[in-house]
């Protein structure tokens, strides 16, 4: 019966993935109700901490966007790319990586991607090379950001393991930053020579013969440099960076967050507190109109992500808490003999549910229950990103649409798409580097 119930779980995840976004969350709600009232499973835990972190980070980042700070950051990124146009395939993914690292979300890619494509096209570089690599890098970097819900969830669970109470947020990102950065560089180097040169690409040549496409290709101009920024744009960025510094400082010095009873406040609460606090500071310091905050891309995308995680993680926790005794007995030997196989489980789940945080909430407690060592759990964190495998994630679809040359595409056989090889290289290298670095740091 457990296997049938597991197949039901996968079915609900699959059905939800066909709708994506909020659909994924509410369809999971159907699955949760069936698990509880039909299969008679005890109700699992809703991912309240993860959702609150996402809400707090998205709120602060949305205030930053409304204040013009995100546009200011994008203008800096564009200047870097346009000053080094021949290196766009290497610099594009790195620029997107650092934007995600600072914001805790990869949704800034929607604004920078047309610029990356424009720089590539004007320098006769196959746009697929930097664009597909940048889309993958924007999501791979999420497991490196100190504002990421997945990172903070990992921190909470790892520090609850006996002997690892001393592990800090800095320890975690000291593993994930070099790991994901190495993965980003590796996939960028691969991308520099991938595919045919632009003049030899049949789809590009076909579009040049079409008057509509030819006009779009020859007259494409995407830039943020001529846009006027609000007066408080720079100030909002400096304040947001200060928020990051404060969070990392508090994480490094536990005494700061030891209040009253002598028990340290969890980093989950610290991040929620600081993000709301600095969101308010940015709002007041820049005199931003709060009514425009919910209208930005970051706010809308973040709220959708929170709802999706709400349903997915609650449904999944209900099943795994119920099935853990038999599940553990069935695969403990395999995982204990080959702990790296846990990466395959992370990868497979992420393919379906499109979220690092939801994947972590769903499977990290399982890994801990199976007795997988903490360094391995942290080192394999990049494997929580695998939704490039099925090209239905919004950033991938948007990237395909932004490439007017048609070189970035979903292939005839669906899985032979532009993001597959960069994704496999990026995640594979990140996991290998992560395992190596984690053995030195997570002790």
Q: What is the pLDDT of residues 104-126, one digit of tens each?
A: 877 777 778 889 998 999 899 99
- 412 pLDDT above the threshold of 80: no
Q: Which of 358, 322, 317, 315 is nearest to 32 (CA)?
A: 315
* Over residues 359-373, mean pLDDT: 86
Highest mean pLDDT among 241-255, 357-371, 424-438: 424-438
Q: Is 358 exposed, middle or buried (0-12, 13-18, 19+ CB in 10 A)?
A: buried
- Intra-chain end-to-end CA distance of the chain, in Å: 40
Report whether 128 contacts 29 (CB < 8 A): no
Quick one: pLDDT at residue 225?
Answer: 81
Strand, helix or coil for residue 258: strand
Identify the band that residue 90 occupies on the pLDDT scale cut at 50, 70 and 90. very high
Q: Which residue has the tokens 């000291």?
A: 174
pLDDT range class, residue 414, cuts 50, 70, 90: low
What does the pLDDT read at residue 309? 78
Residue 287: the pLDDT is 95
| 3-class SS of residue 280 | helix
Most confidently predicted of 77-81, 187-191, 345-349? 187-191
Q: Which two tokens stand for residue 248?
A: 């990392």
Asked whether residue 133 carries a pLDDT value surpassing 70, the answer given is: yes
Whether residue 338 has pLDDT greater than 80: no
Whether 329 has a pLDDT exceeding 70, the answer reads no
* DSSP notation for 315-384: HHHHHHHHHHHHHHHHHHHHHHH-GGGHHHHHHHHHHHH--HHHHHHHHHHHHHHTT--HHHHHHTGGGG
Q: Torsion-angle region of residue 416: left (phi > 0), alpha (psi -120 to 50) or beta? A: beta
Inform me whether the pLDDT recorded for 429 exceeds 90.
Answer: yes
- pLDDT for residue 330: 60
240-253 tens-digit pLDDT: 999 999 988 888 88
Contact call for residues 9 and 31 (beta carbons, < 8 A) = yes
H helical segments located in 253-296: 267-286
**pLDDT over threshold 90, residue 134:** yes
- Residue 140 to residue 423: CA distance in whole angstroms: 8
Percent of the chain with pLDDT over 90: 45
Q: pLDDT-based confidence at 254, cuts 50/70/90? A: confident
- Indicate if the pLDDT at residue 312 is higher than 90: no
Element (H, E) at 7: helix 2-19
CA distances from 312 to 46, 174, 298, 317 (A): 9, 29, 21, 9
Q: What CA–CA distance (Å, rounded) separates 83 from 95?
A: 13
Q: Per-residue pLDDT for 301 more than 80?
A: no
| Residue 165: band (very low, low, confident or very high) from pLDDT cuts 50, 70, 90 | confident
pLDDT mean across residues, the chain: 88
Which whole number is the average pLDDT over 93-100? Answer: 94
pLDDT tens readout for residues 187-199? 999 999 999 998 8
Indicate if the pLDDT at residue 82 is higher than 80.
yes
The pLDDT assigned to 87 comes to: 95
């Amino acid at each position: 019966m457990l296997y049938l119930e597991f197949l039901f779980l996968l079915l609900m995840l699959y059905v939800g993935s066909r709708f994506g976004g909020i659909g994924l969350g509410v369809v999971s709600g159907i699955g949760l109700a069936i698990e509880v009232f039909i299969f008679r499973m005890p109700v699992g835990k809703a991912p309240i901490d993860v959702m609150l972190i996402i809400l707090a980070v998205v709120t602060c980042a949305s205030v930053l966007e409304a204040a013009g700070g995100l546009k200011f950051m994008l203008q800096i990124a564009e200047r870097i790319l346009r000053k080094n146009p021949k290196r766009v395939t290497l610099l594009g993914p790195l620029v997107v990586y650092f934007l995600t690292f600072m914001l805790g979300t990869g949704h800034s890619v929607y604004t920078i991607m047309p610029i990356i494509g424009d720089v590539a096209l004007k320098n006769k570089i196959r746009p697929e090379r930097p664009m597909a690599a940048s889309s993958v890098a924007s999501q791979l970097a999420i497991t490196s950001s100190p504002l990421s819900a997945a990172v903070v969830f990992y921190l909470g669970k790892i520090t609850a393991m006996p002997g690892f109470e001393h592990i800090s947020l800095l320890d975690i990102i000291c593993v994930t930053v070099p790991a994901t950065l190495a993965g980003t560089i590796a996939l960028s180097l691969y991308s520099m020579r991938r595919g045919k040169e632009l003049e030899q690409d049949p789809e590009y040549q076909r579009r040049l013969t079409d008057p509509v496409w030819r006009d779009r290709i020859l007259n494409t101009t995407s830039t943020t440099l001529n846009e006027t920024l609000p007066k408080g744009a720079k100030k909002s960025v400096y304040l947001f960076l200060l928020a990051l510094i404060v969070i990392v400082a508090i994480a490094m010095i536990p005494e700061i967050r030891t209040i009253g009873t002598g028990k340290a406040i969890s980093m989950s609460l610290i991040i929620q507190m600081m993000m709301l606090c600095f969101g308010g500071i940015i709002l007041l310091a820049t005199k931003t109109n709060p009514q425009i905050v919910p209208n930005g891309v970051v706010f809308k995308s973040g709220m959708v992500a929170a709802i999706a995680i709400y349903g997915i993680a609650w449904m999944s926790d209900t099943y795994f808490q119920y099935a853990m005794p038999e599940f553990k007995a069935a695969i403990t030997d395999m995982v204990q003999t080959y702990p790296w196989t846990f990466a395959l489980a992370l990868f497979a789940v992420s393919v379906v549910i499109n979220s690092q945080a939801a994947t972590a909430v769903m499977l990290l407690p399982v890994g801990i229950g199976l007795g997988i060592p903490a360094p391995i759990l942290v080192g394999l964190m990049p494997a929580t990103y695998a939704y490039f495998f099925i090209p239905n994630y919004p950033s991938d679809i948007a990237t395909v649409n932004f490439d007017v040359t048609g070189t970035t595409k979903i292939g005839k056989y669906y899985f032979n798409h532009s993001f597959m090889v960069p994704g496999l290289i990026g995640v594979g290298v990140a996991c290998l580097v992560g395992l190596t670095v984690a053995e030195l740091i997570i002790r």
